[in-house]
């Protein structure tokens, strides 16, 4: 149970005020955070930290991302209704739950079977039935379901995997942290009819993206 002295609803509203001050202006993103109980995605020992604006460990060397980073990445994707989204790095499942508020279908890939199955069970329990799960190498994407309107990568890559840009629909956007293991730039790619536009959205720090087109384990 969440601590009785700090109700999740109150803690969440305090967090949302902080996110708004830091530049999260999309009301749809803030509303999505209200609907997802973040304390359910962390270990019970960390319940009282669930609504702090910090990353938290979830086991196997992985983390649930800082709420501001989750909100920023969601806002940058400029999600529309009924889009098909690919997420690389299911992790705790929290980002997938946020994306599912906007999407017709979220496809999410996790390389750690334990994490992937844990997230699938939790998200099903919470009523998310528009999320499709896969255990595997996220750097290769999910070609059977391509093209995707939006692709979001929640681990730091040395370079942007070509497989992911190839699975992006015309007009679609790919958001990925890319750089070295110590710091990455959040890179946003917008696929046009005959080209791909790139912009950078600030420095971030994610766990490494492991896979054939990422870092070696």
Per the annotation, the verdict on 65 as an active-site residue is: yes
List 4, 25, 65, 103, catalytic entry: 65
C-alpha span between 107 and 84 (Å, rounded): 8
C-alpha span between 177 and 2 (Å, rounded): 32
Q: What are phi and psi of 195, to 5 degrees?
A: -160, 170
C-alpha span between 212 and 204 (Å, rounded): 22
Question: What is the distance between the terminal CA atoms of the chain, rounded to a whole angstrom?
Answer: 36
Residue ranges in the chain assigned as alpha helix (H) = 8-21, 27-35, 67-76, 94-100, 113-125, 162-166
Residues labelled as active-site residues: 65
């Amino acid at each position: 149970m969440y601590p009785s002295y700090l109700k999740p609803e109150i803690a969440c509203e305090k967090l949302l005020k902080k996110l708004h001050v830091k530049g999260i202006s999309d009301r749809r993103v803030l509303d999505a955070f209200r609907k997802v109980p973040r304390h359910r995605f962390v270990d019970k020992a960390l319940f009282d930290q669930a609504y702090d604006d910090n990353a938290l460990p979830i086991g196997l060397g992985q983390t649930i991302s800082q709420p501001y980073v989750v909100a920023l990445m969601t806002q940058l994707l400029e999600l529309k209704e009924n889009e098909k989204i690919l997420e690389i790095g299911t992790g705790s499942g929290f980002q997938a739950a946020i994306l599912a508020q906007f999407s017709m279908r979220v496809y999410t890939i996790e390389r750690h079977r334990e994490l992937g199955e844990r997230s699938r069970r939790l998200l099903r329990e919470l009523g998310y039935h528009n999320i499709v799960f896969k255990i595997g190498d996220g750097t290769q994407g999910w070609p059977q379901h391509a093209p995707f309107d939006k692709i979001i990568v929640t681990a730091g890559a040395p370079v942007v995997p070509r497989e992911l840009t190839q699975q992006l629909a015309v007009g679609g956007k790919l958001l990925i942290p890319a750089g070295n293991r110590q710091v990455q730039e959040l890179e946003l790619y917008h696929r046009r009819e005959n080209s791909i536009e790139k912009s950078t959205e600030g420095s971030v720090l994610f766990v490494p993206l492991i896979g054939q087109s990422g870092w070696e384990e």
